[in-house]
Chain A
Amino acid sequence: MTTPSTAGTTSTTPPAYLIRGASILGFDVQDLLLRDGVIAAVGHAATAEAPADAAIIDAAGLIALPGMVDLHTHLREPGREDAETVETGSRAAALGGFTAVHAMANSSPVADTAGVVEQVYSLGLASGWVEVRPVGAVTVGLGGERLAELGAMAESRAAVRVFSDDGICVSDPVLMRRALEYVKAFDGVIAQHAQEPRLTEGAQMNEGEVSAVLGLTGWPAVAEESIIARDVLLAQHVGSRLHVCHVSTAGSVEIIRWAKARGIDVTAEVTPHHLLLTDELVRSYDPVYKVNPPLRTADDVHALRAALADGTIDVVGTDHAPHPSEHKECEWAQAAMGMTGLETALSVVQYTMVETGLLDWEGFARVTAVAPAAIGRLGHQGRPIAAGEPAHLILVDPAARWTVDPSTMATKGRNSPFRGLELPGRVRATFYGGHPTVLDGRLASPRPASAPTTDEAPAWNM
């Protein structure tokens, strides 16, 4: 791949990009012409229509995929800028192959008002590396007592559609019912962090054979499964849309499969780390493996992979959760829960799903872009790679192998559980609205605020 000569110049007309010989979704090899924020042409037409000054990108051996959409990212701003900022988190996202991320609401102050979600949204626009979609809190201050002003957030400039108290379960069944009902007014979705609070008081890790030996308080699978069972029935009763965050157990998969068979409007998410890692790693007592919900057993990992392959689980969400080092360089019980994930998601999903034959690259695009964009109601993301579509896409080298080194990552978080692991697949380029945020596997430049738009979703336009 050659770096285009026009990148980084201050030419008045935004450059066009001619991508040569990319395998579209792992299938046909085609040329792509990106111009004015859209895929202007595909195939021979792309070469024919390319202006003379178009930057040429050699994509031989690379796969073109829709830009990934993360439904579950912690950007930490406002409040914990020592852990991450919108700027650093969205740089990490671009490098990881994302063109949109949903910023979770557990910032400080909590994103529970139109003001805070608009602040996060504006920070995203100013950064320009990816589309930053704020998630609104379900309850005021994540307190689980009163509904936040969901309507105001929905109608704000941020046009919030996903609401979540992530980190804390909306455990009160009446409040959960009301939230599910209320968001029907603006086609919203409640993304539930399924964790029965009484069953998980002081919980430190998956409850099972390993916790019994380590003497760490158990987080039983039933604490997740009982909430999911309740919530799918509530969603059915009120006819609303439920999204289950970070599903981690085989039993949860069974309940979601049952609910979908009944026609309940439920979607589900799995994290890359739950597709690969098990609670055996906790034997080291290294808090880099401490996460909520916790790492489970090998049986759970295999059930989650099968569920993602057969569509029971709809999407991969990173639950990217950066923490300052002092929150991990301590005893297990004192350590914060969470792992970084934006810059390793593609590789882990390739490793666990594509290289195992469970998903092809089209399936990869479904779970990392098409389905999450649909859940978040981002009409212009996760689109087909075809003429006239918005140019949110990535070029991936599936043959690359790399060793994870958290110290070189763009995120401020160094808490990657994949540290030292050799993984397949690298993002070579990311195009966000036709603008290359990543080229040659390195950050290029943010999308200028004046870049052309596709006149689709108002919230995405500037």
Chain B
Amino acid sequence: MKHLLSTQDLSARNALRLLDVAEEMAAVGEREIKKLPALRGRTVVNLFYEDSTRTRISFEAAAKRLSADVINFAVKGSSVSKGESLKDTAQTLEAMSADAVVIRHPASGAPARLAASGWIDAAVVNAGDGTHEHPTQALLDAFTLRRHRARLGGLPSAGSTLAGLKVLIVGDVLHSRVARSNVWLLTTLGAEVLLAGPPTLLPVGIGSWPCTVFYNLDDALAQRPDAVMMLRLQAERMNAAFFPSTREYSRRWGFDDGRLALLDTMGLDDTVIMHPGPMNRGLEISAAAADSPRSTVLAQVRNGVSVRMAALYLLLSGDPRDDDEPDAHDRTDSPPILIPEGRAS
């Protein structure tokens, strides 16, 4: 793996590798000294064309725990055309010897463009591009689901897939990069994905996705999902006539108290409620659902740092077990991926 641009082009092998390394990173996070020297002397640039404090600090924490130097580069102003071109910015970062660029951009495909353009040699990590993908979010969701199931089964999380798991994603799939990345990653890892939302917010062409699509949330819940992932609804969608009102949306597609109670009635004691944040309480998710023991919202945030550490580590250290490299699977005696100082024994 040279870049992390989407989950659609992520193999099951690489995805599992990322999640397994993230488990080791999570273990580091539980130590007294939460820091590894792995990326000492390397420079990670957080290039953010959209405000996203959550994602930015998660990547910043991940890079710092790996001892990398972190430069935060926020491109001001909503109109990219007013400022410097992506090409010039990329070449500037190249001249400053950036080793990795974590890019958040309102235009779908901007990270892919950066990676393929030849403007910069650094590893590119997609931290969310337009309505395309948000691969580290999907990885942290998969990580969270994997841990949830491991805990239920009393088994170790590392090495396991999501086979047999049924995940329902609800809401504005059309504009959601989180939904797209999750559809590809979760199915790659063996999960069954269900989608539910108003037909106006499901893309034309969704018929070819490896998912079952529902227009009615309660019909989808009747399929007894193991996890329900609520997508954030952007209020401005209402102005473009995607749905009549936020109240109607909330009644038909919101995870409200009634649906929370329904999970209990159905005996779905182990079904979790996920949300990528930030939440619109009372709109797509009720406060009771968000704060219930079923909610994994804070675990998702915590796991985000581990997953992003794994991504930066594997991209910048060069993974000997990378299946993109032709001779990778011939090596049986590959060295351990982490050689940290003072590793917990």
Residues of A whose CB lies within 8 Å of any CB of B are 204, 207-216, 218, 220, 284-286, 326, 329-334
Contact = CB atoms under 8 A, between A and B. Distances in A.
A286 B112 CA distance: 9
B204 A220 contact: yes
Contacts of B81: 334
Interface residues of B, number: 31
B235 interface: no
Given A214-B132, A331-B113, A207 B87 contact: no
B113 A211 contact: no
Given A213-B180, A216-B132, 4 more contacts: A209-B207, A212-B204, A212-B208, A333-B108
A213 to B, nearest CB: 7
A214 B204 contact: no
Contact of B131 (A207, A215, A329): A215
B335 interface: no
Interface in B104-150: 105-110, 112-113, 116-117, 129-133
Contacts of B116: 284-286
A245 B156 CA distance: 62
Contacts of A332: 107-110, 113
A208 B207 CA distance: 10
A340 B172 CA distance: 38
Contacts of B129: 215
Contacts of A210: 205
- Consensus secondary structure, chain A interface: loop
B177 interface: yes
A204 B81 CA distance: 17
B205 A208 contact: yes
A123 B131 CA distance: 45
B97 interface: no
Q: Which 9 A-B pairs have the closest CB atoms?
A: A285-B109, A212-B205, A215-B132, A215-B131, A212-B203, A209-B205, A331-B107, A333-B107, A215-B108
B108 A334 contact: no
Contacts, number: 80
A207 B80 contact: no
B205 A330 contact: no
Nearest to A326: B85
Nearest to A217: B131
17 contacts: A204-B108, A210-B205, A212-B206, A213-B8, A213-B180, A213-B205, A214-B108, A214-B132, A215-B180, A216-B108, A285-B108, A286-B113, A326-B85, A326-B87, A331-B105, A331-B109, A333-B130
Contacts of B107: 331-334
Given A213-B8, A213-B180, A215-B133, A329 B108 contact: no
Contacts of B206: 212
B86 interface: yes
Contacts of A326: 85, 87
B109 A216 contact: yes
A211 B204 contact: yes
Interface in B46-93: 80-81, 85-87
A210 B81 CA distance: 26
A430 to B, nearest CB: 36
Contacts of A218: 203-204
- Identify the interface centre among A204, A209, A285, A286: most chain B CB within 10 Å of its CB: A285
A379 B81 CA distance: 46
B242 interface: no
Interface centre among B8, B87, B109, B206 (most CB of A within 10 A): B109
